[in-house]
Structure 1
Amino acid sequence: MGGKVSCMITHGPWVLIGIPKFVEALNTKTGMKLRFQGPSSLVCSMAITNEMLFAGTGDGRIMAWRFPAKDSNTEPVLILSGHQRPVISLSILARRLYSGSLDKSIKAWDLTTRQCVQTLSEHKASVTSVLCWDEKLLSCSLDKTVKL
């Protein structure tokens, strides 16, 4: 891989690695490699659906690419902006993407309209993880709390 690994996820036969300025993907069955370009900083978090790969970046943006891609070098098809600090956690439930950030907020993004539909600011410190579970959103923070 081409740099400091900051996060990793799997999807079927794919292993996806977040590194500075790229997401690299390897198909463990075919050996095919893909490089998703666009981030200007560290890739801090990733989430994936059957059609899109999302990456939270160190500059507070979320980038999205079609996945799997048809060629080996791909540019983002969508960039979501709204966080003021790194996006370090992503989770997907139905047509919503939830992002947790070091800016202490959680944002809910409608994947159909591609707009932020809600900002939650209940935590007093950086949000370290968001998780969609059983139709609910859970979050935890450096403020020593877990919220439902």
Structure 2
Amino acid sequence: MKRSIITAAVGLFLSGAIVTPALAADSESTASGAIQPRATYECDSAIGKLLQSGRSTAAPAYAGSVDCWLDYDVQNYNHGTFMLQYYGLIKGEGFHELDADGYYGAATQSAIIKVQHAHAGLAVDGVYGKLTGSVMWWGDYYDSISQWK
């Protein structure tokens, strides 16, 4: 009896019917409920990202890819967070009261939540990732705004 319960539980876990908190934290969902795997790496740098306008912006990245995430962290300066704050939230989305300081604190998290509320289809979790970045408006080096290409 005990063995069949364990076998059933393992089967449910492997099939995805049981999601542990650790696995849930490693995914992000859209408002429609579609689960997208959460990026493995935290953004720690920036890359030049082409915008629909044909110009470029600086976007948070990890190892040259925008497939990364940023979350609440007031202990460690992060260059990716700085680029999100400056080019994405201040110049692009218009959160001029936000300080571009490289720390993902309450003000940055609140701004990301507002962005996620404004764009249908995103889960509102306050975590920046590729899905949030793709719908945001970004400032370029010439003070015009556009979305990622």
* TM-score, length basis structure 1: 0.25
Higher gyration radius (CA): 2
Q: Which has the higher contact order (CA 8 A, sep 6+)?
A: 2
Greater helix share, 1 or 2?
Answer: 2
Greater strand share, 1 or 2?
Answer: 1
